[in-house]
Amino acid sequence: MARYPPDLDRWREAARISAEARELGVSLAVPGASRKEIADRIEAYIRSKGAEPAFPANLSRNVEAAHYTPSREDTERLVAGDLLKVDVGAHLDGAIADTAATVEVGGGQRYALLRRAVEEALAAGIAQIRPGVSVDEIGRAIESAVHRHGLKPVRDLSGHTIERYLLHAGKSIPNVGGLSGATLEEGEVVAVEPFVTNGAGRIQNGPFGNIVRFREDPGPGEPELGRLFRRFRTLPFTLRWVEDAEDRERLRHARRLLQTYPIFEEAGGGVVAQMEHTVLVGKHGPERLTALPD
């Protein structure tokens, strides 16, 4: 039984906007650029197309693998040689796309092998996708593509199925073999996202970052928080998006209702590259929704 979203065109549109936002982010990642300005411009682009960011633009660099988004006050600037992951997503009425690219700031070649390995791993993983495929086959394909380059996949980060308003739905798409017996069905939407490192191949939690998420509806006793909940639902968001200072204060005091994401750092101090596409499990194979036409 196929599981295509009934509004598949909306998913395609969200994916195209996400892909354009990703490329905008890549083009802005030059020495001296501030991560806050890049994030603001990525998210403004998504909104200018009539979509909403599905999560704050993640601009993790070097040993940061994921979950870095700038705060409102962030003044830090990129320097030549940084390896920057641009991981972005847009949604249209809950139809979500999620996509990432890695850029070596300043155009150097120091991390060319990492970038090539992650590109090949992404292609190898996606090539396995078809109705009925075991996600373990995808993980194995990713793992062996990375090992061919003498590098390691980050084994505790994985791709994921996506459902309406659910960025991380039920199934994980591992980046190594042996972790999952799940299979994919025709019509499912999945994000495939290998992470490759020259470090230990594991992550550890760094400091808490600037990405939060409502665990649940605050309920009728909390009307002001309820208004914010209706804006963000259970998708990840950041206080950088909340213009009103009183609302930011309310959210800071509502920690029990919010999940705060730690920044994920490579456990061995390695540098991390990541690429990601949102893919439709088509009847005859994968359709890369976040690939732009050449």
Catalytic residue among 20, 104, 276, 287: 276
Of 98 and 104, the one with the shorter C-beta distance to Co ion is 98
- Answer yes or no whether residue 142 interacts with Co ion by CB under 5 A: no
Catalytic residue among 104, 143, 193, 265: 193
Query: Exactly one of 98, 136, 143, 188 binds Co ion (CB under 5 A); which one?
Result: 98
CA-to-CA dists, residue 284 to 131, 136, 171, angstroms: 8, 19, 21
Give the E-state strand segments of 157-283 in sequence order: 158-162, 172-174, 189-192, 195-197, 203-214, 258-266, 272-274, 277-282
> Which residue shows structure tokens 């992650």?
118
Tell me which amino acid residue 234 is.
Answer: T
User: Closest Cα partner for 155 from 201, 191, 112?
Assistant: 201
Beta-strand pair 172-174/189-192 = unpaired
Specify whether the CB–CB gap between 206 and 261 falls below 8 A.
no
Shortest distance (Å) from residue 40 CB to Co ion: 21
- Integer-rounded Cα radius of gyration of the chain: 18
Catalytic residue among 160, 265, 277, 287: 160
Of 218 and 236, the one with the shorter C-beta distance to Co ion is 236
The residue range among 91-99, 182-190, 202-210, 261-269 that interacts with Co ion, by the rule CB under 5 A, is 91-99
Q: Is 98 a catalytic residue?
A: yes
User: Closest Cα partner for 152 from 18, 264, 266?
Assistant: 266
Range 179-198, binding Co ion (CB under 5 A)? 191, 193
Of 33 and 169, the one with the shorter C-beta distance to Co ion is 169
Catalytic residue among 40, 74, 168, 217: 168
Shortest distance (Å) from residue 4 CB to Co ion: 20
Q: Is 9 a catalytic residue?
A: no
Q: Is 87 a catalytic residue?
A: yes
Active-site annotation, residues:
87, 98, 160, 168, 193, 276
Residues binding Co ion (CB under 5 A): 98, 191, 193
